[in-house]
Amino acid sequence: MKYFLFLITIAFCSCSPKIRTSVSEKHEKLDSKSNVIVFNTKAELPANFTTIGTVKIGDTGFTTNCDFNTVLEAAKTEARKNGANAFLITEHLYPSMFGSSCHRISADLLRIESTTDYSKPVINKDSIHSKDRLKLVANEATNYKSSKSSGFLLLANVAQSFRVASSPDGLNSEQKKYMKNLKSGLSYDISAYYLKDDRTGFGLKYNVYKSSGTIRNQQITLDDGINYRGDFSDDITISFIGPSFILTEGKNARVGEANLELAIGYMSYRNNSTIIGSPLKITGSNLGMIAGMGYHFRITPHFLLGAQANFVGGVLRKLKYEYPNGITETIKLEDEEVENLWRIDLAVGAKFRF
């Protein structure tokens, strides 16, 4: 039984915020119902106050009960234990999608002359204000959330792209080099989202990949057994458009915002090739997908710059050939002949919040 109680105690403590307190002046403990005033900036401090220590409310790694109100109450409890009737928040870290899920604060413990001059706070545009316009938090529990949770998000990226398909067999060294260069190119995409809760949104993604090249003085043998020599060129465009989902850190994230994207939609392939001076258009389409993750650093509250990696692609099981004389032919590809469009995009881009 004692081991069971021990485990229960550990579990309970793990769920609570991590608290570290350092006191430079010892004072008598305050009553548990004593008023504790919370200041958000130094400009709000009264003319006369004394700093008696510091307190940090953090995350143990297993903390679950760590919303903003709970963290504030924990800081107030520590203040009362050490004889402080106020504290100044010096740092507030918000929950992060790829970091801690907790609100975390650091604060200076203060003693002020009176706590009766501060009125009950109300919420106004992400800040906590008192009715007399002082940004203070009193003892009463406060719902700390944005007054505007929805909005629009725009992402724009430019990427160096690398197709992962293997090259055909039987190529000479010059042709292998040509195919390798042809499998890398530039891509760009733009995504627009409606965010329903500052973190999750649905929208539309458009992505285009381009690659081109020319290889000269090559010989081929056609079905009639005749050898032909000349130049060959490829001008490849792979396009994608489709609905997309995003999971992102909120606008209150301290340094920047991490995000995950997933889009499924229509992918098309076009190669405006030339074979010894004769044009040949090759097209195809199928279902495609884009999955990506990125991180953007905040430049202004609504503008961010960063990097993103995407895995993009699909598979074509048939191709349409359009010859110079206007004749078209659709060829179904065997499993070992399918056109692999998968690639990796390494992008830099911008993120705009509206």
Residues 6+ apart with CB under 8 A from 88: 39, 40, 41, 42, 45, 107, 108, 110
Provide the pLDDT for residue 138: 38
For residue 3, is pLDDT > 70? no
Among the ranges given (14-28, 191-205, 310-324), the one the predictor scored with the smallest mean pLDDT: 14-28
Mean pLDDT in the chain? 84
Tell me the fold of 151-353. Porin (2.40.160)
**Could you give the 3-state DSSP secondary structure of residue 33?**
coil
For residue 10, is pLDDT > 60? no
For residue 149, is pLDDT > 50? no
For a pLDDT cut of 90, what percent of the chain falls above it? 55
Provide the pLDDT for residue 156: 97
For residue 277, is pLDDT > 80? yes
Q: How do residues 220-251 score in pLDDT, each as one tens digit? A: 776 667 777 889 999 999 999 999 999 998 87
Provide the pLDDT for residue 348: 97
Provide the pLDDT for residue 7: 41
Provide the pLDDT for residue 99: 64
Report the distance separating Cα 244 and Cα 264, nearest Å: 7
pLDDT band, residue 204 (cuts 50/70/90): very high
Whether residue 306 contacts residue 155, with contact meaning beta carbons closer than 8 Å, is answered with no
Q: How do residues 22-73 score in pLDDT, each as one tens digit? A: 999 889 999 988 899 999 988 888 888 999 999 999 887 666 678 888 899 9
pLDDT band, residue 12 (cuts 50/70/90): very low
User: Average pLDDT, stretch 303-309?
Assistant: 96
Other Cβ atoms within 10 Å of 203 Cβ, number = 19
Q: How do residues 88-124 score in pLDDT, each as one tens digit? A: 999 888 876 666 778 889 999 999 988 777 655 443 3
Alpha-helical segments (H) within the chain: 2-15, 68-81, 173-182
Report the distance separating Cα 318 and Cα 338, nearest Å: 8
Report the distance separating Cα 112 and Cα 49, nearest Å: 5
Provide the pLDDT for residue 137: 40
For the chain, helix (H) and strand (E) counts, in that order, are 3, 20
Whether residue 122 contacts residue 141, with contact meaning beta carbons closer than 8 Å, is answered with no
pLDDT band, residue 189 (cuts 50/70/90): very high
pLDDT band, residue 8 (cuts 50/70/90): very low
Q: How do residues 129-144 score in pLDDT, each as one tens digit? A: 333 333 444 333 333 3
Domains of the chain: which residue ranges?
Answer: 15-137, 151-353
Report the distance separating Cα 140 and Cα 270, nearest Å: 64
| Distance, CA of 224 to chain centre | 56
pLDDT band, residue 335 (cuts 50/70/90): confident
Tokens 């692609």 identify what position? 313
60 φ, ψ to 5°? -80, -10
